[in-house]
Chains A and B, each alone.
Chain A
Amino acid sequence: MKQVVQAEEIRPPITHIGVIGWVKNNLFNGVFNSILTVVTLFLLWKVVPPFFRWAFIDSAWHTTSQACREAAGACWSIISMNYRFILFGFYPYEEQWRPLLSMLILFGLLFYSRDRSHWKKPLAYGWIIGLFTMGLLMKGGILGLPSVESTQWGGLPLTLLLAVFGLTAAYPLGVILALGRRSRMPGVKILCILYIEMIRGVPLISLLFMSSIIFPLFLPEGVTFNKILRAQVAIILFTAAYIAEVVRGGLQGMSRGQYEAAESIGLNYYLTMRLVILPQALKIVIPPTVSILISAFKDTSLVVIIALFDLLKTTQSVLSNPEWMGFSREAYVFVAILYFLGCFSMSNYSRKLEKELSRGD
């Protein structure tokens, strides 16, 4: 008679699976980690609930500044009562739909460009037309739109404008500088190295000072540029040096075989670069280029120092209004959230792209 032993299915102990297992493995594996977890939890308990209370429960959302001063928590009214000025600066109140529309066009273009399958020639034309339309919308003076001087531009559109136009214009310059730095002609090479290293060695603020006080001296009498354009030039000159270094990285990543193959089929320097090297090199460096866009976006905030009314400056001028004085925390938190949203979505996108590109499709 045979006894069939039914093997009982043994489940892993309860301390190794499920929520308990997870907590044990990730929070309390070892004495040191347990102490760390407890201390961290305690600190979070000390910080998060009071902050939540300050920001959401005791806060004033849409009140006068008087009511705000009586509230125990945050005063978000400084944002809700002044958001038009913070976002658009001194742009004429009735015309503020125009910068809004420009920004929507920009966001639309950015959103459409997310997908790599859309990266074709029409998209490039779309960008050119889009940027041109944005400029026209902001400036006005045609199609019955009243003209708005660029001295009145401000707020978020100015910030975006400086960043996007800065990167677009700096890109070709940066590529040329990178090619120059890799050139076999010593004269060109030295000039490019000098430029790149000099710009990378000085802070952006010194270039902005230069743009605001020295550029006017450079020009012949009677020729004047407005301040925004001068700051834009400084940002372009600055960003180009950083792009050059990124592109150089891509160029160095190309194997010699690529150059030799191009030479062997009789391509000259220009065609080698345009048809063989640059398309591959620039593709490698897309993720770092996005991080340059992120820094350019953050760096535009520096124009505050030369008194351009970008997002940060409009916020500060609301804060200097006696009525709203003393609510800096709330105002800066709001601006920080805007910057964070912009930078975070870009860096997230850059990580996604990096994964896609490294998969080598």
Chain B
Amino acid sequence: MKDFKDSAAREKVPFWLDPKKRAILFQLMTFAMVGLLAYYLTSNTLINLEKQSIATGFSFLQKESSFEIGESLIPYSAANTYARALLVGALNTIKVAFIGIVLTIILGTIIGMARLSTNWLLSKLAAIYIEFMQDIPILLQLFFWYAIFYETLPSSQEALNPGAGIYLSNRGVAFTIPEPHPAHLYMLLAFLVGCVIVYLIRRWARKRQEKTGQIFPVFLVSMGILVGFPLLTWWVLGAPLKMNVPKLGGFNFEGGLTVSPEFIALLLGLVLYTAAFVAEVVRAGIQSVSKGQREAAMSIGLRPVPVLNLVILPQALRVIVPPLTSQMLNLTKNSSLAVAIGYPDFVSVANTTINQTGQSIEGVALIMAVYLFFSLSTSVFMNWYNKRVALVER
């Protein structure tokens, strides 16, 4: 009797009033709409492409690119394929993003600390810097720095020489670098060996401290090893001191390391702009640690450096890392504005490719795919780091 009643009640509910069925129906409708839209756009595109007789697909990547790229980390010439040209662009993006991120974190931390300083003058200057930089579009800043380079600086014949071996001109900055020597390779090896040893020492020191309570001066010893090993290698291998000094050639400097004005303008703009945001992130992170924490740490007799290292930073980093990640991603994405000042980053090379081949859909798809890859890999790494600094509850 009861069973009968239940099933009758169930039958009475029409499917559009049953939440589960309605949800399925709604989702099917959504998918159908998205699918129809996609179908409509694709079919239009295919018709249009056929009319303009543009072939689809990525086969153009294997063709000869026949355009030069100003700067490249790997050997490249106009005879290489489009695929290699795009690789050059991607590497240039990685280069500027990587150097930019490192410099931004350093500068941002300094400005963030200055903002929190008890020194009124410094704190106000930092506040002004942050407000100004955040309120001016990054593109405008890039144009400004680039204009400073090509308008204000003299030609390479009359290059400014602010310090020994550094030349500033509208063709970029030329640095003196050490002449290549086999000893450099061994120094690098020594440094890597030093890194491994430092890692082992840290592990050993932590274990010993947990067992016996004795503290080993890890930081000093590590620095000694990291600096000392390469220096020792350098000395053992005859201390090569020959320098590669930039000399004025016909139009530009030869020798040394010349950094293009486009690269410097891009780097300068990205770092100065993003550092303002990072400074705010750092400030908020440090302020989030309550005053009591510092006082408690000091009251159990910790010295200022351990207070910072063991108490303040671990808690502040937890607040800092997630927004810092998004700032790093912003910097990487903003590096695409290189196209506006002519630094050959990925977008710029892809744009040239699109203009030459007419493969616009493939080109834009490549741009999106590459940046999605950068974004996802950065957030995977930062999530891993975030897990490490996150609260470990025992």
When the two chains form the complex, which single residue of B135, B139, B333 contacts A344, counting CB atoms closer than 8 Å? B135
Q: Answer whether residue A10 sits at the interface, using C-beta atoms and an 8 A cutoff.
A: no
Secondary structure type dominating chain B contacts = helix
A-B contact count (CB 8 A): 159
**Interfacial chain A residues near B44, Cβ < 8 Å:** 217-220
Q: Answer whether residue B371 sits at the interface, using C-beta atoms and an 8 A cutoff.
A: yes
**Interfacial chain B residues near A336, Cβ < 8 Å:** 136, 140-141, 144
**Interfacial chain A residues near B376, Cβ < 8 Å:** 201
Q: Answer whether residue A150 sits at the interface, using C-beta atoms and an 8 A cutoff.
A: no
With contact pairs A214-B360, A339-B140, A344-B131 given, residues A203 and B118 touching in the complex (Cβ less than 8 Å): no
What's the minimum C-beta distance from A88 to chain B, rounded to whole angstroms?
19
CB atoms of B371 and A185 under 8 A apart: no
With contact pairs A27-B120, A206-B364, A209-B367 given, residues A201 and B48 touching in the complex (Cβ less than 8 Å): no
Q: Which of B108-149 contact A (CB under 8 A)?
A: 117-122, 125, 131-132, 134-141, 143-144, 147-148
What's the minimum C-beta distance from A14 to chain B, rounded to whole angstroms?
20
State which of B23-31, B157-165, B250-258 sits at the interface with chain A: B23-31
With contact pairs A214-B364, A332-B140 given, residues A33 and B47 touching in the complex (Cβ less than 8 Å): no
State which of A34-42, A79-87, A102-110, A124-132 sits at the interface with chain B: A34-42
Closest residue on chain A to residue B332 by CB atoms: A203
Q: Answer whether residue B242 sits at the interface, using C-beta atoms and an 8 A cutoff.
A: no
A204 CA to B30 CA, complexed, in Å = 26
CB atoms of A326 and B151 under 8 A apart: yes
CB atoms of B27 and A301 under 8 A apart: no
What's the minimum C-beta distance from A273 to chain B, rounded to whole angstroms?
15
CB atoms of B364 and A187 under 8 A apart: no
CB atoms of B367 and A206 under 8 A apart: yes
CB atoms of B367 and A301 under 8 A apart: no
**Interfacial chain B residues near A340, Cβ < 8 Å:** 132, 135-136
State which of B178-186, B199-207, B298-306, B335-343 sits at the interface with chain A: B335-343
Q: Answer whether residue A240 sits at the interface, using C-beta atoms and an 8 A cutoff.
A: no
CB atoms of A312 and B140 under 8 A apart: yes
A335 CA to B139 CA, complexed, in Å = 12
CB atoms of B119 and A347 under 8 A apart: no
CB atoms of B339 and A202 under 8 A apart: no
Q: Please, how many residues of chain A have a CB less than 8 angstroms from a CB on the other chain?
A: 54
**Interfacial chain A residues near B334, Cβ < 8 Å:** 203
**Interfacial chain B residues near A217, Cβ < 8 Å:** 44-45, 48-49, 360-361
What's the minimum C-beta distance from B14 to chain A, rounded to whole angstroms?
16
**Interfacial chain B residues near A220, Cβ < 8 Å:** 44, 47
Per-position 1/0 for B156-194, Cβ under 8 A of A = 000000000000000000000000000000000000000
CB atoms of B372 and A201 under 8 A apart: yes
A285 CA to B393 CA, complexed, in Å = 31
Q: Answer whether residue A169 sits at the interface, using C-beta atoms and an 8 A cutoff.
A: no
CB atoms of A329 and B119 under 8 A apart: no
A81 CA to B333 CA, complexed, in Å = 37
CB atoms of B144 and A209 under 8 A apart: no
With contact pairs A184-B23, A206-B368 given, residues A339 and B30 touching in the complex (Cβ less than 8 Å): no
When the two chains form the complex, which single residue of A202, A328, A332 contacts B367, counting CB atoms closer than 8 Å? A202
Q: Which of A209-259 contact B (CB under 8 A)?
A: 209-210, 213-214, 216-221
CB atoms of A206 and B336 under 8 A apart: yes
Q: Answer whether residue A292 sits at the interface, using C-beta atoms and an 8 A cutoff.
A: no
Per-position 1/0 for B333-374, Cβ under 8 A of A = 110110110000001000100100000110110011001100
Closest residue on chain A to residue B360 by CB atoms: A213
CB atoms of B122 and A187 under 8 A apart: no
Q: Which of B366-387 contact A (CB under 8 A)?
A: 367-368, 371-372, 375-376
A332 CA to B49 CA, complexed, in Å = 41
Closest residue on chain B to residue A303 by CB atoms: B139
CB atoms of B140 and A201 under 8 A apart: no
CB atoms of B144 and A328 under 8 A apart: yes
What's the minimum C-beta distance from B358 to chain A, rounded to whole angstroms?
9
**Interfacial chain A residues near B134, Cβ < 8 Å:** 343, 347
CB atoms of B121 and A41 under 8 A apart: yes
CB atoms of B340 and A305 under 8 A apart: yes
A294 CA to B137 CA, complexed, in Å = 10
What's the minimum C-beta distance from B343 to chain A, rounded to whole angstroms?
13
What's the minimum C-beta distance from B135 to chain A, rounded to whole angstroms?
4
Q: Which of A36-83 contact B (CB under 8 A)?
A: 36-37, 40-41
What's the minimum C-beta distance from B373 to chain A, rounded to whole angstroms?
9
With contact pairs A339-B136, A347-B134 given, residues A40 and B151 touching in the complex (Cβ less than 8 Å): no
A358 CA to B187 CA, complexed, in Å = 57
Q: Answer whether residue B41 sits at the interface, using C-beta atoms and an 8 A cutoff.
A: yes
**Interfacial chain A residues near B23, Cβ < 8 Å:** 184-185
CB atoms of B135 and A329 under 8 A apart: no
With contact pairs A205-B336, A329-B152 given, residues A198 and B372 touching in the complex (Cβ less than 8 Å): yes
Q: Which of A293-330 contact B (CB under 8 A)?
A: 294, 298-299, 301-302, 304-305, 312, 316, 326, 328-329
What's the minimum C-beta distance from A187 to chain B, rounded to whole angstroms?
4
What's the minimum C-beta distance from B84 to chain A, rounded to whole angstroms?
21
Q: Answer whether residue A3 sits at the interface, using C-beta atoms and an 8 A cutoff.
A: no
**Interfacial chain B residues near A204, Cβ < 8 Å:** 333
Q: Answer whether residue B51 sits at the interface, using C-beta atoms and an 8 A cutoff.
A: yes
Q: Answer whether residue B34 sits at the interface, using C-beta atoms and an 8 A cutoff.
A: yes
**Interfacial chain A residues near B47, Cβ < 8 Å:** 220-221
**Interfacial chain A residues near B137, Cβ < 8 Å:** 298-299, 301, 312, 339
Q: Answer whether residue A29 sits at the interface, using C-beta atoms and an 8 A cutoff.
A: yes
**Interfacial chain B residues near A41, Cβ < 8 Å:** 121
Q: Answer whether residue A188 sits at the interface, using C-beta atoms and an 8 A cutoff.
A: yes
Q: List 12 A-B contacts (CB under 8 A).
A: A187-B30, A187-B31, A203-B337, A203-B371, A205-B347, A210-B364, A213-B364, A298-B138, A328-B144, A329-B152, A339-B136, A347-B131
The 8 A-B residue pairs whose C-beta atoms are closest, nearest first, are A328-B147, A187-B27, A343-B135, A26-B120, A201-B375, A203-B333, A298-B137, A203-B336
Contacts beyond the supplied A27-B119, A27-B121: 9 A-B pairs with Cβ under 8 Å: A40-B119, A185-B23, A188-B27, A205-B339, A305-B340, A328-B151, A329-B144, A335-B140, A339-B136
